[in-house]
Chain A
């Protein structure tokens, strides 16, 4: 195994750099300390007025400079996380990363402040339409680049000097995990020895909150923000939107060893399976979720019995947590009664496009520290989903292999399996 190839003769993919920023703070040290202390980063939204909104809480990142739009927030967070990951890895040189960039990023769009700006410039007196905005568009040349879907990834590619075309991708709430999967596949194909995989999301703005709110997806526990995200508990009432970014430097084992890099963990397997049942709901039989985890196990060359901990998707919506329980109960059988499963989202909220990457970073930290972050706010267990959610307090454990789940709108399911460096 330590030959640099996995059980299937493919290049072994390892992690040599990690970076993260969430509402809990910037950097691994701060995040890990707060995550294992069971602190919540959820707060009342102060970035914009929330009059008339059903949900007025989120996991916003308020300790950095304000930005004009989600694209700029996403770029800022991704930059921070990537700087940390690349620095830790020590790979390449400043501005010269020897591999491609895979970026999970929220879809980019112009927002209301810019529309109002154009509208004011158009100076129309009565009804304002897009024809009015179009008349003055050329007066705002910088908005072209800013609101192109590829702009965030392009700016990161320029800064970090990644190779080839940067790929911006979305698989909704599984995006961060897909970015990692693309990196794993590229290294296994032998196309590259390294990849920079990032998930980022900075889309807490009025319309984004309204959109999820209208789908009845969000918690409305506005009066006690810290207590709002309650994955797997009986009183869970929706997810809490949040911002963040996670970055991983993936590398072939041989490349990492050759340059004497410290191996933080191994990306052992990836699985995906699409659900064609409904745009926002899982197939009631759970087959795609079950299939997704089983594909990941197979890809890792492991069995369900090898998994020591589940880093849950655990959004805190009534539907997701029930389906994730059903899926896990099927895959892990009787063991699921005692197999620890916890949700980082109980503390950091749902970082959407970033979640898969942020939670992969936390999964590697969980392995490194042999300590499982808790599921906080677990005061009223749901008798329908009996699980060891590592309730409220972090716990040490002997962990060799963990699975991290990401499920998203549009039937997107991705599971990643991570482990420790094989013995030399």
Chain B
């Protein structure tokens, strides 16, 4: 892993979720401890629905019509991040921004799918029926709302980010590695400024189905992450983007740091029993020398075992760290979850404190004293382990 020789600052944060939009709304809601869920729309499954958002503030109506919701969420959050970094509309800088988006795929047309599933058993020639319905019922532009790399494409179109554009796929690890690669490139001088993040629309039955194949879509009763005993996760709708850049680059344009990013590491355990703990221990060894105290943890724990159980065991070895699983509040957003937690870490550092626990299982404890560092964890529900360290500047 390349050790960053160049300091990397977080200079922009853009977030939306069930808690609202922006740093202030999130900070306020997290401190109130209010949990927003929808238990009826997809009953018995529980989701954390997106708060009402006025997409017009970041995306023209014309462009919105070309998108599905996951893209609107991400393009909106990216716009907030660019605003926050003070680079919105700065053509020269936008043309040099390297973008890495962590993405899954887009929404399906549920009515078309339903029509085909309903009609097929009665069709004289089922294969021909499928072809006919797809040819006549699919909107031609739906494909562009489904393609993984078209969130990045929409951000380029709506906000003019044109340095480079890469899309990483692969659930939680896509988000971890998007940040790791963007960070490593800046630290090594291969890039000066990056927009990194992702989006997830959790209000989708096709996604509930993907995770329910493994029995992991939370149903019937909401419980905070650590209290679920492996019952899985409530999908969340959320978008999170960061602008990160070399300190010299930020200073040259007069940008203030919100926080600094001092480590991003990841690994892959094959998930045989105990391998997650080993993987996390190995990652911790790479960054522990930078952990100085005044440190809290924002965990991306999902509520799926063995991932969450082994992550919990890791925290038991580090009982001096105050832990918060943001999934209890935001739900689980897969690809953007890690970036969301980096963003929330940045917000918490700006307040110098941590929000209250949301856990009666005894893991999350109140934190007193000032907050100087946040360790962010991202242990994927199926694969991928990641850690990052975000620190207060000055």
Contact = CB atoms under 8 A, between A and B. Distances in A.
Interface of A: 48-54, 105, 107-110, 112, 115-116, 119-120, 126-131, 133-134, 137-138, 140-145, 147-150, 153-154, 157-158, 164-172, 178, 182, 185, 188-191, 206-207, 210-215, 272-280, 288, 408-412
Contacts of A140: 213
Contact of B110 (A52, A129, A166, A276): A129
B213 A138 contact: yes
Interface in B97-148: 99, 103-105, 110, 113-114, 116-118, 120-121, 125, 127-128, 130-132, 134-135, 138-140, 142-144, 146-148
A148 B210 contact: yes
Contacts of B162: 273-276, 288, 411
B169 A207 contact: no
Interface string B353-393: 00000000000000000000000000010111010000000
Given A108-B169, A171-B167, A210-B131, 10 more contacts: A107-B104, A107-B148, A110-B209, A130-B206, A133-B117, A133-B209, A149-B170, A167-B168, A189-B188, A410-B147
Most A CB contacts (10 A, CB to CB) among B121, B125, B134 go to B134
A115 B115 CA distance: 12
Given A110-B210, A153-B170, A211-B143, A53 B165 contact: no
Given A126-B118, A158-B270, A288-B162, A53 B135 contact: yes
22 contacts: A49-B127, A105-B169, A130-B110, A130-B209, A134-B209, A141-B213, A144-B210, A144-B213, A147-B213, A148-B170, A148-B171, A153-B170, A154-B170, A157-B268, A165-B268, A165-B386, A171-B167, A172-B149, A210-B131, A215-B144, A410-B152, A411-B156
Contacts of B138: 207, 210-211, 214
Contacts of A49: 125, 127-128, 131
Interface stretch (B53-61, B177-185, B236-244, B312-320): B177-185
Given A129-B114, A410-B150, A165 B176 contact: yes
Contacts of A147: 210, 213
Interface string B188-202: 101000000000000
Given A149-B169, A210-B138, A189 B2 contact: yes
B284 interface: no
Nearest to B211: A144
Given A52-B128, A165-B177, A211-B138, A410 B165 contact: yes
B1 interface: yes
B150 A409 contact: yes
Most B CB contacts (10 A, CB to CB) among A215, A288, A411 go to A411
B153 A410 contact: yes
B144 A279 contact: yes
Contacts of B38: none
Contacts of B113: 115, 130
B250 to A, nearest CB: 21
Contacts of B266: 164-165
B64 to A, nearest CB: 14
Given A169-B166, A171-B165, A137 B213 contact: yes
Interface string B201-240: 0000110111111111000000000000000000000000
Nearest to B101: A170
Those 8 A-B pairs whose CB atoms lie nearest each other, nearest first? A410-B153, A150-B170, A130-B205, A144-B213, A144-B214, A49-B127, A51-B128, A149-B169
B165 A411 contact: yes
A119 B113 CA distance: 11
Contacts of B127: 48-49, 51, 206
B268 A154 contact: yes
A153 to B, nearest CB: 6
A140 B163 CA distance: 43
A213 B135 CA distance: 8
Interface in B17-61: 45
B205 to A, nearest CB: 4
B2 A185 contact: no
B278 to A, nearest CB: 14
Contacts of B164: 272-274
B149 A170 contact: yes
B213 A210 contact: no
Contacts of A153: 170
B161 interface: yes
B2 A408 contact: no
B158 to A, nearest CB: 9
B267 A185 contact: no
A275 B163 CA distance: 9
A164 B267 contact: yes
Nearest to B114: A129
B281 interface: no
B173 interface: yes
Contacts of B153: 279, 409-412
Contact of B213 (A51, A130, A143, A164): A143
Given A52-B132, A109-B105, A410-B156, A154 B169 contact: no
B157 interface: yes
B173 A52 contact: no
A210 B134 CA distance: 7
Given A53-B135, A409-B149, A148 B382 contact: yes
A274 B161 contact: yes
Contact of A189 (B135, B171, B184): B184
Contacts of B118: 126-128
A52 B184 CA distance: 50
Contacts of B144: 215, 279-280, 409
Given A141-B214, A144-B213, A191-B2, A215 B177 contact: no
A170 B150 CA distance: 10
B333 to A, nearest CB: 14
A293 B42 CA distance: 49
B174 interface: yes
Nearest to B105: A107
A178 B160 CA distance: 21
B90 interface: no
Contacts of B181: 167, 182
A143 B139 CA distance: 27
Given A53-B135, A170-B149, A288-B162, A191 B169 contact: no
A14 B120 CA distance: 53
A408 B384 contact: no
A54 B169 CA distance: 31
Nearest to A49: B127
A191 B270 CA distance: 22
A409 B147 contact: yes
Given A116-B120, A206-B134, A210-B131, A134 B208 contact: yes
A273 B98 CA distance: 9
A178 B170 CA distance: 16
Contacts of A191: 1-2, 184
A274 B158 CA distance: 13
Contact of B212 (A108, A138, A168, A207): A138
B383 A149 contact: no
Given A51-B131, A154-B383, A210-B131, A408 B168 contact: no
A128 to B, nearest CB: 4
A274 B156 contact: yes
